Amino acid sequence: MVLSDFNMITSAADKNNSNLNHHIMRKFREFIDDNELKELYMHGRRFTWTNERDAPMMTKIDRVLVTLDWELTFTDNLLQVLSTNVSDHALLHLSTSAPFYQQKRFRFEIYWTKLEGFEQAVKDAWVCDEDIVDPYKRLDALLRNTATTLQAWGERKMGNIKLKLAVANNVILRLDCAQERRNLTQEELWL
């Protein structure tokens, strides 16, 4: 059986209006039951999609369904609904408490090239120990030094961009949640 992802709701509570297809809802619930699946509880939001209109239609069409074996394997799971900052769908973040240590990687920010002093910062950073004669090791040292220097230079110039993005995403999430309960004001829509 193939179900359209647009209609993947299980109950009237999954939509903010009464335009429902009860037949498809029943078929989707039967699919879940027949396959012995369980839906993980989503923390943070009630709906996961919006048509982003003035009087928005909102639905919960994004979900995580798991088997009993999966749930017994990952007992400390947490499913969070994040902001709709990049799509009309809210991002889902599933944590299974498995240790995950992400190595900090250099990330070149394209906006740095527009900041005053960028070229000088690169010139100042493009240095390494003259005793390194192997060309590959020399290039590696030059790139590592430049990455470290640019990262620090960027933070001094702009502040902590990750913190600013986190604050912006938090504001978007709060507006998403408010929109589930009421229409947003013109100021909120502008923001």
pLDDT (0 to 100) of residue 64: 92
- Interval 117-158: pLDDT, tens: 999 999 999 998 888 888 999 999 999 899 989 988 888 887
pTM above 0.75, yes or no: no
Closest alpha carbon to 115 in 71, 154, 160:
154
Query: Given a cut of 70, is residue 163 above it in pLDDT?
Result: yes
CA atoms in the 13 A half-sphere facing the CB of 161: 14
137, two tokens? 């090791």
> CA torsion, points 169, 170, 173, 178, in degrees to nearest 10?
-140
Question: Over 80: is that where the pLDDT of 177 sits?
Answer: yes
Domain ranges of the chain: 5-101, 110-158
b/e sequence 48-83, b meaning 16+ C-beta within 10 Å: bbbeeeeebebbbbbbeebeeeeeeebeebebebbb
